[in-house]
Structure 1
Amino acid sequence: MTLISREPWWLVPPKPGQTEQDLHWGYLEIYSNGRTVFVDQRPSDREMAERKSCRNFPKSDR
């Protein structure tokens, strides 16, 4: 089993009105056999700024 991807990811998708800072972040690891694992370790500020996924936040109802 080989690690093919590791990127910053939220544990639970945001709800309307939540910001990045409100969420529990870690890493989503994807392996060659299709297995996915959430690693409960907060990414660095740089990794968060450069992430390609998990960027869509629902608009607030306010």
Structure 2
Amino acid sequence: MRLISREPWWLKPPQPGQNEQDLHWGYLEIYADGSTKFVDERPSDQELAERKSCRNFPDPATP
């Protein structure tokens, strides 16, 4: 299988009021055949700060 993307990703989406430091982080690997795999290895703080995806944090002030 040929790896085409490896991005910092959360294991479970955040709950209201939860911040990104409290999440279980790893990598989402996407392969050429369309399959995906979660790698349970915490990305560096720099990788998390520079990530392009997985940024949907609910605003706790929004009902």
Q: What CA distance in whole angstroms lies between the structure 1 residues aligned with 2:47 and 2:61?
A: 29
Q: What CA distance in whole angstroms lies between the structure 2 residues aligned with 1:23 and 1:5?
A: 21
Q: What CA distance in whole angstroms lies between the structure 1 residues aligned with 2:55 and 2:24?
A: 14
Unmatched tracts of structure 2, length 5 or more:
none
Alignment correspondent of 1:37: 37
Q: Give the CA deviation at 1:61.
A: 4.7
Runs of 4+ that moved beyond 2 A: none
Alignment correspondent of 2:5: 5
Q: Give the CA deviation at 1:59.
A: 1.2
1:57 aligns with 2:57: yes
Q: Give the CA deviation at 1:10.
A: 0.1
> What do you get for the CA RMSD once the two structures are aligned?
1.2
Q: What CA distance in whole angstroms lies between the structure 1 residues aligned with 2:57 and 2:14?
A: 6
- Residues matched between the structures, number: 62
**TM-score, reference length from structure 2:** 0.93
**TM-score, reference length from structure 1:** 0.94
Q: Percent identity?
A: 76
